[in-house]
């Protein structure tokens, strides 16, 4: 659901802020495996369904 995705993106942003890049990569890979890609912006992250 979008609520779960929002929570996951919150964890992603927290990990990025803490410079825990291994966790950032894990979250990004987990989302990608579910067909979701994320794009970092200056203030937040955007997401979209993968076209692959």
- Each residue's pLDDT tens digit, 1-26: 789 999 999 999 999 999 999 999 99
**What is the reported pLDDT for 42?**
84
Place of tokens 């942003």: 13
Which of 30, 28, 29, 33 has its CA nearest to residue 45?
A: 28
Taking CA atoms, 22 is separated from 2, 29, 34, in Å, by 24, 11, 19
Local structure of residue 50 (DSSP, 8 states): -
Report whether 44 contacts 18 (CB < 8 A): no
**What is the reported pLDDT for 39?**
93
Taking CA atoms, 40 is separated from 17, 26, in Å, by 12, 15
């Amino acid at each position: 659901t979008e609520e779960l995705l929002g929570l996951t993106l919150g964890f992603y942003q927290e990990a990025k802020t803490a410079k825990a890049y291994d966790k950032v990569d894990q979250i990004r890979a987990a989302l990608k495996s579910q067909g979701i890609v994320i794009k970092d912006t200056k203030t937040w992250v955007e997401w979209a369904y993968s076209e692959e």
